[in-house]
Copies of this chain bind each other. A is one copy, B any other.
Amino acid sequence: MAEAGVALACDLGGTNLRVALVDGAGTIRAAEKRTLVDRAPEAVVALLAALAGEVLRGQGTTIDRVAAVGIGVAGPCLGATGVVVVAPNLGWRDVPFGAMVERALGRRVRVVNDLSAAAWGEAAVGGARGAKDVVLIFVGSGVGSGLILDGRLYEGCGGLAGEFGHTKVVAEGGRLCGCGEHGCLEAYAGGHNIARRLRELAAEGRAAGILRAAGGDPDRLGGAALERAAEEGDPEAVALRDEIGRMLGVQIANVVTLLNPARLILGGGVLTGMPGLKARAIDWIRRATGRPQLARLTVLDAALGDDAGLIGAGLLALAGEAA
């Protein structure tokens, strides 16, 4: 049967839903993608079921014939119960998403955080292949991580492990984060917050060089403009980029010192779009990580790109079936 060892995989972000068939080698056999219009859990489940039907029919198969179903969601999840603990971009809290999808599809499903899925995908078929202890750090609009420890996905007691973006880099008087707390790493290094901070500086007349690099348009202020201005030597841009790089690097270094992973995978739009920031973060990782842990560490770029969560969700579901 062609479907042996093939998973139905879904990746649910705040904007899009993707559904695919993923085989045991991590290859996407077929995929569909829709922009979310209605984010209510019932509507998302209905859309997921419809897309799954399309993907399956396109491959001439049915839901009964796939080996497993895996779903990555942009928020902390409790894999054992399929509950999405929080998904800020969906406005969800404690949604029994796994059970809802199971009813709609008539199949057991595995629900995981999308960065956990991405870490699993990178560890299974990406650059971290073969390593048992893998930390994936993602710096995009938000900041997060996925932890593969001793060959297993680590989710924490409440599905909240890996919330690296909400570790604190400023103890008192720190910037407000989207989570409602102050001083989180994400409040300084997340793409949305970089843009917001630049607009604040511009409004105070303190980011002239960065605003020029954004073509004079405050709405175009963001990581790209910051990177461009810093490369041109604008002192405010250089200082700000150095600060963000130091915060990211030291905080990542502390995770490496604590967890002693064999592989550190760096990904996300802020890091890929700001090579100068990434270089500074890596420099701080090398300076601040405990030396014995650094000696055992390989730093890699995420290899699977936007597909990591989809592939990882599929492979995790297949691994669960095999276990």
Asked whether, in the complex, the Cβ of B157 is within 8 Å of the Cβ of A260, the reply is yes
Of the candidates B76, B181, B260, which one forms a contact with A158 in the assembled complex, judged by CB atoms under 8 Å apart? B260
Stretch of A49-57, A159-167, A208-216 with 4 or more beta carbons under 8 angstroms from chain B: A159-167
Q: Are B150 and A260 in contact (CB under 8 A)?
A: no
Q: Which residues of B contact A154 (CB under 8 A)?
A: 149-150, 259
| A267 sits at the interface (CB 8 A) | no
Q: What residue in chain B is nearest A291 (Cβ atoms)?
A: B181
Within 8 A of B (CB), among A251-267: 251, 253-255, 257-262
Copies of this chain in its oligomeric complex:
2
Q: Which residues of A, 135-164, contact B by the 8 Å Cβ criterion?
A: 145, 149-150, 152, 154-164
A-B contact pairs, 6 of them (CB 8 A): A150-B155, A156-B293, A168-B253, A168-B254, A251-B254, A258-B258
B253/A161 in contact, CB under 8 A? no
A119 part of interface (Cβ distance < 8 Å): no
- Taking the complex as formed, is A197 at the interface, i.e. its CB lies under 8 A from any CB of chain B? no
Within 8 Å of chain B (Cβ to Cβ): is A196? no
- Cβ of A122 under 8 Å from chain B: no
A132 interface hit (Cβ, 8 Å): yes
Say whether A262 contacts B160, CB under 8 Å. no
Q: Please, how many angstroms separate the alpha-carbon atoms of A159 and B292 in the complex? A: 10
Q: Are A290 and B166 in contact (CB under 8 A)?
A: yes
**B132 and A157: CB pair below 8 A?**
yes
Q: Is the CB of A167 within 8 A of B254?
A: yes
| Number of chain A residues whose Cβ lies closer than 8 Å to a Cβ of chain B | 48
Residues A175-197 near B (CB distance < 8 A): 179-181, 183
Is the Cβ of B293 less than 8 Å from the Cβ of A163?
Answer: yes
Q: Is A86 interfacial (CB 8 A cutoff)? A: yes
Task: Verify B284–A161 contact, CB threshold 8 A.
Answer: no
CB neighbors of B among A64-81 (8 A): 76
Q: Is the CB of A163 within 8 A of B284?
A: no
- Which chain B residues lie closer than 8 Å to A161 at the CB level? 258-260
Whether A131 sits at the interface, judged by CB under 8 Å, is: yes
Residues of B near A183 (CB, < 8 A) are: 288
Of B152, B164, B260, the residue contacting A156 (CB under 8 A) is B260
The smallest C-beta distance from A270 to any residue of chain B, in angstroms, reads: 19
Contact B150 A296 (CB under 8 A): no
Instruction: Check if B250 sits within 8 Å of A171, measured CB to CB.
Output: yes
- Which residues from B are CB-within-8-Å of A83? none
Q: Are the C-beta atoms of A171 and B254 separated by less than 8 Å?
A: no
Instruction: Kindly report which residue of chain B lies nearest to residue A171, judged by CB atoms.
Output: B250
